[in-house]
Structure 1
Amino acid sequence: MNTSPDPSLIEIRNLARTFGGGRSLFGTKKPELTAVRGVSLDLEKGETLGVVGESGCGKSTLARMLVGLDTPSRGTIRLSGENLTDGGTRALARRVQYVFQDPVSSLNPRQTIRDILEAPMRHLLGLGSRERKERLERLIEDVNLRPEFLERYPHEFSGGQAQRIGIARALAAEPAVVVLDEPVSALDVSVQAQVLNLLDRLKRERGLTYVFISHDLAVVESVATRVAVMYFGEIVETAPAREMFRAPLHPYTKLLIDSAPVPNRKRAASAGDSGELPDPYDPPPGCPFAPRCPRADEDCRAAMPRLEAKDRGKEHLAACCHPTPRRA
């Protein structure tokens, strides 16, 4: 976490999201599922924070709360020191924008690309027609699309072109932060590289800050400056990207890295890992990774370890009682 006197661009404190719960009409208790469990995280201006983890770990729920598409059950989100959790949905939408995983289905099929891109300018920035036209011309050029595309509809575009339109829509509101939820997972490999290069250029030219949600560790390693690892709704490790991939502290992070397919490298043995996530309706006590962890002990099952610095410096934090030893 940030310990400097100046606030981080985004400060997340004890953020949680619970679904279900309460009681039915007949008084029976409804099942409750906690998708995000008290996440605290800082996002610094200009960085690309990669958020990784298995499916169902809470990555997308966290992303949706960051952009105001979902309401936290508890906790706060501060942007430049301003609390946006309560009543700040419009301000959040103006300054934090979202790029969806499926580029085609995220675009309204009944609207032209012009209408789609002008909507944030009209509703979030309050621009008149002349200003919208000028900005639209620059925006479509910035994402490497032709001006005639503005009069077409989403179904007329390939996945890569549609994702460029999705990126342009996010940038139309002139945000400070862009949350990218698996932005290249639905694209061909060659198109992935083009989109990632585009995102890198736009970040440099516009001074953007990214939150990059992905399960693809190779992509995250290539784009992220810092990485946060999620497991069962909690952050279990966070560190600068180079340090994270070189020497992970948490056994779960090591499992993810060792399991990632790499050309000409034999996949490491899983040491008996079942790959099964805990039951979200009946979470275990202590560290939720303990049943899968080869280093787990009784203290791991007694209480959830705190996310704190170990022996790798103040920027490398892990929620683990028995972190992996430093490589020789």
Structure 2
Amino acid sequence: MENIPNPISIQNFTTENGALYHSLPLSFTVAGLALHSAPIVLVNHALTGNAQVTGENGWWNDLIGAGKTIDTNRYTVLAFNVPGNGADSFLIEKYQDFTTRDIARIFIIGLESLAIDQVHTIIGGSVGGGVAWEMLALEPNITQNLIPIATDWKSTDWMIANCFLQEQILNNSSKPIEDARIHAMLCYRSPESFKEKFQRTVNENLSIFNIESWLAHHGDKLQKRYQLASYKLMNQLLKTIDITRNSADFETLMSKTNAAIHIIGINSDLFFTARENKETYQELKKFKENVFYSEIDSVHGHDAFLIEYKQLDHLLADIFKAETIAK
């Protein structure tokens, strides 16, 4: 089952912005078959997530486990904690030192230190998918399959705007984590999702709308388990996804990889929109054969990749179940 080995120590790492970190701990989990005994699936976590993708507190248990879509009886499932996400008590105070690409570089160093040249799949949702795109742009042969879910290879103006507002709240609010989370929940869901769930009902005990008590509950819940420094860092990463920044253009970068790219969008995602995902797909199709687009149909917005696991299971089955493992 899942085990947590000792962290890898990343030595003398200079970020894109020129900040030198003499030592960064890279903690990780391994689930399923032992490393180097089976195809490896690297799972990149989202904003408030961590490397616990399966097991007792696994945030993706619906998808990953014995007999599940990503079957831990057939695969090795590897997940890194973004250094500074707080899961291993390590924090980064100067969050602006880092970009998404820095994290991709750190994950690549992590794979190298585990003597992994290539993985079967890199899969990630939201900012985790952004890190996955950055990894592929840096190392075209790092994976056979890239599965970015509810994400894109760049942060759009809309995304940057919302991250800017998040940053303002995190730096200026008297209850930063709670207030930032309340705003974020509006981006993670959709108007239709709220309508379906709440129907303008009132919480009689508190004399407020149920949507208000639900949002307050989510803010309070995150405040209890999450660190302010971690939130600032992860928000910074969400804002800085861009594989082309200080690099080549999209086509030049993606022409270098033979990996199959399976883009999964969500039709109601307000954050990383399906339209943007389809544009990325169309762009890739101009010069690449093994690229695919599929879509989760849901009212639940961005968070649907954590909610609609049956649809996700169906969309991923071809990749993980149809093939015979010849490794």
- Normalised to the residue count of structure 2, the TM-score between the two structures is 0.27
Larger CA Rg, structure 1 vs 2:
1
Greater helix content: 2
- Normalised to the residue count of structure 1, the TM-score between the two structures is 0.27
